[in-house]
């Protein structure tokens, strides 16, 4: 197996880890609230820039990740409480509101941090390279950390969704929204919590992406596109589908950019077209 194949595979896995962290929150809010939250990419980008500023002031990368996630959770909570809740049930208004908020956040980021590409310094503990024993190849420690963090979030979300009353209620809301409402559960409060969790994960992913890749105005739409591809492939409302969708998207994008970069977008959207033609609800989604 050539070095290029191995590197493409490793890069695809770490990209899949970043996409999963970004998409895991969106798939919850998307599934429960039935709204395409076009703000999600902007939350990713803004969370990354906030994390960058926190690192410069405090020198703490962990605090930067928590600050980026926490700030975006607050923004998401405010968006749901004062904007999206008023448009509940009107798909067009919900989409236009989230699109407007995304544009506003993007412009604010441009005004505050400028349009030049920036990056977050890798913390000393996670810098350097590590030799992978089986294949005897060096690989950045930070990217391996990203993969481990994604696995941790997968386990944490699985435990939350299957072992807690709140998680079970969210899953029930995904499967049968009307039934959950008829049982007297405060669905509005549930919406707000899920939207806040979605924003937190987007902000955390922004700090991770800004450290491993780059922070630049306009990156929000690229990340949003990749995140929506993950959800479309995996199926709305499925944690397992999000994992598989992230793996397919990350690996396809990595190999396409390595071997045929001029056709990378064509190759990226090809699985989407094939899967939707066979299963319109995605690989693990359920029919509405």
Q: DSSP letter string over 167-218? A: HHHHHHHHH-HHHHHHTT--HHHHHHHHHHHHHHHHHHHHHHHHHHS-B-TT
Q: Is 83 part of any domain? A: yes
CB 264 within 8 A of CB 253: yes
In a domain, 284, yes or no: no
pLDDT score recorded for residue 78: 93
Is 55 contained in some domain?
yes
pLDDT tens-digit profile, the chain (288 residues): 688 888 999 999 999 999 999 998 888 777 666 676 889 999 999 999 999 999 999 999 999 999 999 999 999 999 988 898 888 778 788 889 999 999 999 999 999 999 999 999 999 999 999 988 877 789 999 999 999 999 999 999 899 888 888 888 877 766 666 777 777 777 777 778 888 999 999 999 999 999 998 899 999 999 999 999 998 899 877 888 999 999 999 999 999 999 998 888 889 898 888 888 888 888 887 665
Residue numbers of the domain that contains 43: 3-278
In Å, what is the CA distance from 165 to each residue of 132, 159, 160, 190, 278? 40, 11, 8, 12, 35
**146 within domain boundaries:** yes
pTM comes to 0.93
Q: Are 77 and 196 in contact, with CB atoms under 8 Å apart?
A: yes
Residue 286 falls inside a structural domain: no
In a domain, 288, yes or no: no
pLDDT at residue 174 in the model: 63
Predicted local confidence at residue 191, as pLDDT: 76
Task: Give the chain's end-to-end CA distance (angstroms, integer).
Answer: 43
Could you tell me the CATH number of the domain that includes residue 50?
1.10.3470
Count: domains in the chain: 1
Residue 285 in any domain: the answer is: no
Residue 47 and residue 74 in contact, taking contact as beta carbons nearer than 8 Å: no
- DSSP class of residue 84 equals G
Q: Which secondary structure element, helix H or strand E, spans residue 92, and what is its range? A: helix 91-113
Would you say residue 110 lies in a domain?
yes
């Amino acid at each position: 197996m050539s070095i290029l194949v191995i590197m493409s595979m490793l890069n695809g896995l770490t990209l899949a880890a970043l996409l999963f962290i970004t998409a895991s929150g969106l798939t919850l809010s998307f599934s429960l609230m039935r709204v395409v939250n076009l703000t999600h990419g902007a939350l990713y980008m803004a969370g990354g820039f906030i994390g960058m500023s926190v690192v410069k002031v405090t020198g703490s990368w962990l605090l930067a990740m928590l600050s980026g996630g926490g700030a975006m959770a607050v923004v998401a909570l405010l968006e749901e409480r004062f904007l999206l809740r008023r448009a509940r049930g009107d798909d067009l208004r919900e989409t236009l509101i989230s699109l407007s908020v995304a544009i506003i956040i993007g412009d604010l980021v441009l005004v505050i941090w400028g349009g030049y590409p920036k990056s977050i310094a890798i913390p000393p503990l996670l810098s350097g390279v590590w030799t992978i024993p089986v294949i005897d190849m060096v690989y950045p420690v930070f990217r391996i950390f990203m993969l481990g963090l994604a696995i941790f979030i997968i386990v944490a979300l699985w435990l939350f969704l299957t072992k807690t009353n709140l998680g079970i209620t969210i899953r029930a809301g995904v499967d049968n929204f009307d039934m959950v409402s008829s049982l007297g559960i405060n669905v509005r409060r549930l919406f707000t919590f899920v939207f806040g969790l979605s924003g937190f994960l987007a902000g955390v992913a922004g700090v991770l992406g800004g450290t491993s890749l780059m922070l630049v105005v306009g990156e929000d739409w690229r990340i949003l596109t990749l995140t929506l591809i993950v959800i479309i492939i995996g199926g709305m409302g499925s944690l397992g589908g999000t994992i598989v969708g992230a793996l397919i998207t990350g690996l396809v994008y990595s190999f396409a950019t390595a071997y045929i970069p001029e056709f990378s977008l064509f190759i990226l959207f090809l699985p989407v077209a094939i899967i939707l033609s066979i299963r319109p609800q995605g690989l693990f989604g359920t029919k509405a």
